Amino acid sequence: MAKRIKMNNVVNFLRNVDEIALIATGTRLRDIGHRILDAWGEDIKKAATGTGANKEETLADDPYRVLHCHPEDYDVVVKARFRLLCKELHPDTGTHPDPKEFQRVNEAYQKIMADRHKQ
């Protein structure tokens, strides 16, 4: 009986985490891993085999990687991630000031938003 109660607690906890992931990202937790592989699967494959573009160029050119978000994320999630990074990297008031990285984050956010408004 005690094992069954503990298992029900674990199942309920995982359901709650899945609901939180749904609210935060707009998708279920179980789907997030598949989205990452779909979005960056080719880059991962090229990096593993050593073919294709230089790894440094790929990381520097992708604005979603700069902001640490996914291309299918809602605008609200992208904006929240942008604000969090700006708060951390701002040259004057940031906790870890880095002017170059701050500029890179700003340019990535502008590029993402411009692309989304074109669509």
Q: How far apart are CA 60 and CA 69, in angstroms?
A: 14
pLDDT averaged over every residue in the chain: 75
Q: Residue 87 is encoded by which pair of tokens?
A: 């708060």
Res 34: pLDDT: 57
pLDDT tens digits along 65-95: 898 888 888 888 899 899 989 999 999 988 8
Q: What fold is seen in the domain 62-119?
A: Helix Hairpins (1.10.287)
Q: Which two tokens stand for residue 12?
A: 């309920």
Yes or no: say if 67 and 78 are a contact pair by the CB < 8 Å rule: yes
20 alpha carbon, distance to own chain's centre? 16
Q: Is the pTM of this model over 0.75?
A: no
User: Could you state, in order of their start, the residue ranges of all structural domains in the chain?
Assistant: 1-52, 62-119
